[in-house]
Amino acid sequence: MSIKKYTIGTPFVTDATVKEVKAENSIREYISVKENTIELTFPLSPDDIIYGLGEQLGGINKRGRKYRSFCSDDPCHTEDKEALYGAHNFFVLSGKDNFGIFIDFPGEIHWDMGFSKEDEISIVITGTDADIYEISGESEMEIVKEFRDLIGKSYLPPMWAFGYQQSRWSYPNKEQIDRIVKGYEDADIPLDTVYLDIDYMDNFKDFTVNEEAFPDFKEYVATLKKKGIRLIPIIDAGVKCEDGYDVYDEGVENNHFCKDRNGDDFKAAVWPGICCFPDYLKPESRKWFGDKFLTLTEKGIEGFWIDMNEPALFFSMERFKKAVDYVKKYNGEDLNCWDFFSYRDQFSNLSNNNEDYKNMHHLDGKVSHYDVHNLYGYMMMRGVSESLPKDSLLFSRASYIGSHRYGGIWTGDNTSWWSHILLNLRMLPSLNMCGFIYTGADCGGFNGNASRELVIRWMQLSVFTPLFRNHSAIGTRDQEAFAFSDSDEFKRVIQVRYRLIPYLYDLAKKCCDNNELMFKPLGFEYKDKLSKECDDQLLLGEEIMIAPIYEQNKSGRTVYLPEEMTFYKLSGNKVTHKEKLSQGIHYVDVALDEVPLFVRKGKTVPLCAPAKNVDSLDKTVTEYLEG
Ligand code: GLC
């Protein structure tokens, strides 16, 4: 087991790692330093598997695709996409050689993982200053543990954050929140939190609460708390430019905002219109912004989700004007197809444009944002975490390795598609490898309309993920657990989560303390071909294997058992099925109100009784599932 560090040029300090590793005197043959880039090339043998890369599309095995590290606000997670909201530059190669590589570089990286050439990994770092870590070890797990030790201990929220959570864009006022709480109460379904999306604010201004919508916010927060329900507000990265708005005024006065190339405050539009962007890379500015959260914790708030921190930019005035001038020029003209396409692209390319990222500057104009893009969400979360009371819930959309010490992440704007249940499952081990233990997807899917069957099947996976939050976009069909017919079926699935909470929380804590994975690919434990290729089942801790159903109109699914296991189905407070299954392939039936799981031979899973929320959970073990 060893870590070697190769330092090229003068890397920007990211604080991704916590352990001092002395740089080697010379670099390895697989690294070549070019005029504007650094390139890494590794041969791939036919049976090699690539694990890792955190929040990315593709399978558990990352081989055969291209990826990009560039935190991106992309709400459409189709197969062709190369980048999502996180930049997690760590992978493990498992096969002929076993090693891990971590590239500590805050800008854009292109990963060709056996796509252009099937027998080669080719990585292009778009800069000439980076730290490259090479980690060797006997097994994949040993490499991951060594890496996790290098990057420091993962964040763990308070136990109530493992309860079932309900969100929507938006429940904009007290009446809507009351409707949701009552919906859950009437249906007798457990619930721990309700989320406040952007409409709770006054004109989308961070740290404001619309007083008409929430007349006495502090008292309201306390009333809900008495019922065991916590309100979790969203805070966005950009600050509305409006004279007289204290956060904006203070930011301007104390030089807290990023600059443009002329040294003026950089401006671009997000939800509230034109915004300035706190320079989270400056310690005093991220502290200033983090301390603002205390205005809400003083009102009883105990958790936050922070968003749009890639940062997402809808448009800059400069580019918008250019687009409008272009359109005016061609207005009334007979356009050929190329002119028309370029006309149309003027607008489709307005958001999250690299020209704007290049114009945005950090550290009083010294560093172009483009070069350190992947640190923005990370440093925002760092500042917030350093200001918040210990034991707060905090998670972010954008992230870099290092963020995992300060909070969790959710996986952004997925869609109510069956394939996104599978995507959720496949991301879990990769995220864990990169340090993100408190994580989960928008259960039921964010974009699009969800069917009853999809939401309940998705829940059969989410009952195992630390963040279990149902969230959906504006304009989509209601997808709360009580919104569909026969809500008792949803109740029985969600109750299973509460029965598992002491086990899951304990496991998550162990994974944070000992740098373990909560979710492991089967190939980490079993070396047979089917285990290594398995892309739709996971090991949970040392005890459980999960195999959720992710297809429509199915009464069950085919499962591969690498060894003998005991198959259980849980529903509400009952174990509805127990069966020893031999090593091999089986078809198992699973009804909509059951949660399937497989207990490994000789292992035991404790269950407690269900409860209406975590505060009232009696953690005494009532039953053991034996493997
Ligand atoms: C972004 C977030 C989403 C949120 C929406 C409105 O799209 O990813 O979760 O609901 O913004 O705030």
pLDDT computed for residue 344 by the predictor: 87
| Contact assessment for residue 64 and residue 114, using Cβ atoms and an 8 Å cutoff | yes
**Distance (Å) from CA 195 to ligand 1 centroid:** 11
Question: Best of 197, 442, 479 to mutate for ligand 1, by most ligand atoms within 8 A of CB?
Answer: 197
**Distance (Å) from CA 574 to ligand 1 centroid:** 36
Q: Determine whether 362 is exposed, middle or buried from the number of CB atoms within 10 Å of its CB (0-12, 13-18, 19+).
A: buried
Torsion of CA 114, 120, 123, 124, to 10 degrees: -110
**Distance (Å) from CA 462 to ligand 1 centroid:** 19
**Distance (Å) from CA 558 to ligand 1 centroid:** 35
**Distance (Å) from CA 73 to ligand 1 centroid:** 10
**Distance (Å) from CA 472 to ligand 1 centroid:** 9
Residue 460's contacts (CB-CB under 8 Å, 6 or more residues apart) are: 493, 548, 549, 590, 594, 595, 596
**Cα gap 7→25, rounded to integer Å:** 9
**Cα gap 49→58, rounded to integer Å:** 13
Torsion of CA 198, 199, 200, 202, to 10 degrees: 100
**Distance (Å) from CA 308 to ligand 1 centroid:** 8
pLDDT computed for residue 333 by the predictor: 87
pLDDT computed for residue 364 by the predictor: 96
Question: Best of 55, 195, 206, 307 to mutate for ligand 1, by most ligand atoms within 8 A of CB?
Answer: 307
pLDDT computed for residue 48 by the predictor: 98
Buried b (16+ CB within 10 A) or exposed e, 23-50: eeeebeebbeeeeebbebebebeeebbb
Q: Which residues line ligand 1 (CB under 6 A)?
A: 169, 197-198, 234, 307, 397, 412-413, 471
Give strand pairing partners of 624.
606
Among the atoms of ligand 1, which is closest to the Cα of residue 198?
12
**Distance (Å) from CA 448 to ligand 1 centroid:** 14
**Cα gap 594→525, rounded to integer Å:** 27
Strand 399-400, strand 86-87: pairing: parallel
Counting other chains too, the contacts that 94-97 makes at CB distance below 8 Å and 24 or more residues apart are: 94/48, 94/49, 94/50, 94/51, 94/140, 94/523, 95/45, 95/47, 95/48, 95/49, 96/45, 96/47, 96/48
Residue with CA closest to ligand 1 atom 7: 413
**Distance (Å) from CA 197 to ligand 1 centroid:** 7
Residue with CA closest to ligand 1 atom 10: 169
Give strand pairing partners of 268.
275
Residue with CA closest to ligand 1 atom 3: 413
Distance of CA 624 to the CA centre of its chain: 32
Residue with CA closest to ligand 1 atom 4: 169
Q: What is the pTM (predicted TM-score) of this model?
A: 0.98
pLDDT computed for residue 204 by the predictor: 98
Residue 327 main-chain phi, psi, to 5 deg: -65, -40
**Distance (Å) from CA 258 to ligand 1 centroid:** 23
Residue 45 in tokens: 């043998």
Residue 337 in tokens: 């197809």
pLDDT computed for residue 342 by the predictor: 87
Q: Determine whether 579 is exposed, middle or buried from the number of CB atoms within 10 Å of its CB (0-12, 13-18, 19+).
A: exposed
Among the atoms of ligand 1, which is closest to the Cα of residue 413?
8
Residue 298 in tokens: 């003083």
Sign of CA dihedral 307, 312, 314, 318: positive
Sequential DSSP letters for 229-272: -EEEEEEES-EE--TT-HHHHHHHHTT-B-B-TTSSBPEEEETT
Among the atoms of ligand 1, which is closest to the Cα of residue 397?
8
**Distance (Å) from CA 270 to ligand 1 centroid:** 12
**Cα gap 178→216, rounded to integer Å:** 14
Q: Determine whether 160 is exposed, middle or buried from the number of CB atoms within 10 Å of its CB (0-12, 13-18, 19+).
A: buried
Among the atoms of ligand 1, which is closest to the Cα of residue 167?
10
Q: Which residues of the chain have pLDDT under 70?
A: none
**Distance (Å) from CA 169 to ligand 1 centroid:** 7
Residue 262's contacts (CB-CB under 8 Å, 6 or more residues apart) are: none
Among the atoms of ligand 1, which is closest to the Cα of residue 75?
7
Residue 46: HSE in the Cβ half-sphere, 13 Å Cα cutoff: 0
Among the atoms of ligand 1, which is closest to the Cα of residue 412?
8
**Cα gap 471→473, rounded to integer Å:** 7
Residue 165 main-chain phi, psi, to 5 deg: -125, 140
**Cα gap 123→141, rounded to integer Å:** 23
442's enclosing H/E stretch is strand 442-443
Among the atoms of ligand 1, which is closest to the Cα of residue 168?
10
pLDDT computed for residue 330 by the predictor: 83
**Distance (Å) from CA 280 to ligand 1 centroid:** 21
Among the atoms of ligand 1, which is closest to the Cα of residue 197?
12
**Distance (Å) from CA 516 to ligand 1 centroid:** 31
Residue 90's contacts (CB-CB under 8 Å, 6 or more residues apart) are: 52, 53, 54, 100, 101, 102, 103, 147, 401, 433, 434
Q: What are the start-end ranges of the H helices in 84-139? A: none
Torsion of CA 482, 483, 485, 489, to 10 degrees: -40
Among the atoms of ligand 1, which is closest to the Cα of residue 474?
10
3-state secondary structure of 552: coil
Question: Best of 170, 234, 410 to mutate for ligand 1, by most ligand atoms within 8 A of CB?
Answer: 234
pLDDT computed for residue 329 by the predictor: 86
Residue 593 in tokens: 């109100």
pLDDT computed for residue 90 by the predictor: 99
Residue 550 main-chain phi, psi, to 5 deg: -130, 25
| Contact assessment for residue 84 and residue 97, using Cβ atoms and an 8 Å cutoff | no
Residue 251 in tokens: 């930011």
**Cα gap 404→155, rounded to integer Å:** 6
- DSSP label of 423: H
Question: Best of 232, 309, 413 to mutate for ligand 1, by most ligand atoms within 8 A of CB?
Answer: 413
Q: What are the start-end ranges of the H helices in 373-472? A: 376-387, 419-433, 452-462
